[in-house]
């Protein structure tokens, strides 16, 4: 499962690429390592156009499994996830690279993937939902105060030939064109879910290995 990704492109570029008309994300620094339960930029669509905003990564799973935050969603037929697959709850998660962990010894090795060595922008096919409860680390929320949150996760699919040798079980659903992003945000659910497929091998590559962050050394 992808539980680490980076976003190291300038904010103006993010706004342009995702056709953002409203930006409430504040001043975004480079984000070379985004981990579960952290706040991250997300693009959602509303009546006034697309908005770049901050949401927290991880939507609670089914009660039968303890409602633990789920970062990656594979089973889109599950009744737990179906309500959040409507257009109003789909979102785009801006990304410049993502990591899977190679099963090496004595510890696993982060392996980073991007569209090419320059780490151009793309998106994860995301979903989001409002939720009230206790979230954030004890450092962020030491008193464990219950608050209102906007939470996101993103879809995964079977691994392609680039990711598969490192993580054979799954990879994120990657959207690499503006048309794919439009379909994900606007199309009826069954049409949008046709995008839940592995990216062709030739459209991505491994770009780094060994660190839990990506982008700083490349000057992005």
3-state class of 113 per DSSP? strand
Per-residue confidence (pLDDT) for residue 219, from 0 to 100: 39
Quote the mean pLDDT of the chain: 93
The neighbour count for residue 35, using CB atoms within 10 Å, is 14
The per-residue pLDDT for 65 is 81
Residue with tokens 């062709």: 200
- Give me Rg for the CA atoms of the chain: 17
Give the pLDDT score at 67. 83
Tokens of 204: 């991505």
pLDDT for 217: 41
Q: What distance in Å separates the CA atoms of residue 127 and residue 93, rounded to the nearest whole number?
A: 9
The tokens for 16 are 């342009």
Single out the residue of 1, 161, 164 nearest to residue 69, CA to CA.
1
Q: Which residues contact 144 (CB under 8 A, 6 or more apart)?
A: 134, 138
Question: What is the model's pLDDT at position 147?
Answer: 84
Q: What is the maximum alpha-carbon separation in the chain?
A: 51
pLDDT of residue 216: 59
How confident is the model at residue 105, as a pLDDT?
93
Sign, Cα dihedral of 116, 119, 123, 126: positive
pLDDT, position 220: 37
Q: State CA 3 to chain mean position distance.
A: 9
Q: What is the pLDDT of residues 139-172, one digit of tens each?
A: 777 778 888 899 999 999 999 999 999 999 999 9
The stretches in the chain having pLDDT less than 50 are: 217-220
Beta bridge partners of 209: 111
H helix intervals, the chain: 11-17, 178-186, 189-192
Identify the DSSP state of 99: E
Q: Are 159 and 169 in contact (CB under 8 A)?
A: yes
């Amino acid at each position: 499962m992808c539980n680490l990704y980076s976003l190291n492109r300038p904010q103006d570029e993010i706004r342009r690429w995702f056709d953002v008309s409203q930006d409430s994300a504040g001043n975004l620094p480079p984000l070379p390592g985004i981990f579960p339960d952290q706040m991250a930029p997300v693009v959602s669509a509303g009546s006034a156009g697309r908005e770049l905003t901050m949401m927290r990564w991880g939507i609670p799973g089914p009660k039968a499994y303890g409602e633990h935050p789920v970062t990656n969603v594979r089973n889109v037929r599950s009744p737990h996830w179906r309500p959040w697959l409507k257009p109003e709850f789909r979102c785009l998660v801006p990304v410049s690279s993502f990591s899977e962990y190679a099963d090496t010894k004595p510890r696993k090795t982060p392996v980073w993937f991007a569209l090419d060595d320059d780490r151009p922008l793309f998106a994860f096919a995301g979903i989001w939902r409002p939720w009230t409860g206790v979230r954030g680390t004890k450092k962020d929320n030491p008193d464990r105060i219950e608050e209102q949150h906007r939470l996101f996760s993103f879809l995964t699919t079977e691994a392609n030939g680039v990711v598969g040798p490192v993580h054979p079980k799954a990879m994120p659903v990657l959207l690499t064109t503006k048309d794919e992003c439009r379909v994900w945000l606007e199309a009826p659910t069954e049409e949008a879910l046709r995008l839940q497929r592995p990216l062709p091998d030739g459209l991505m590559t491994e770009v780094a290995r060994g660190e839990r962050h990506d982008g700083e050394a490349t000057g992005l």
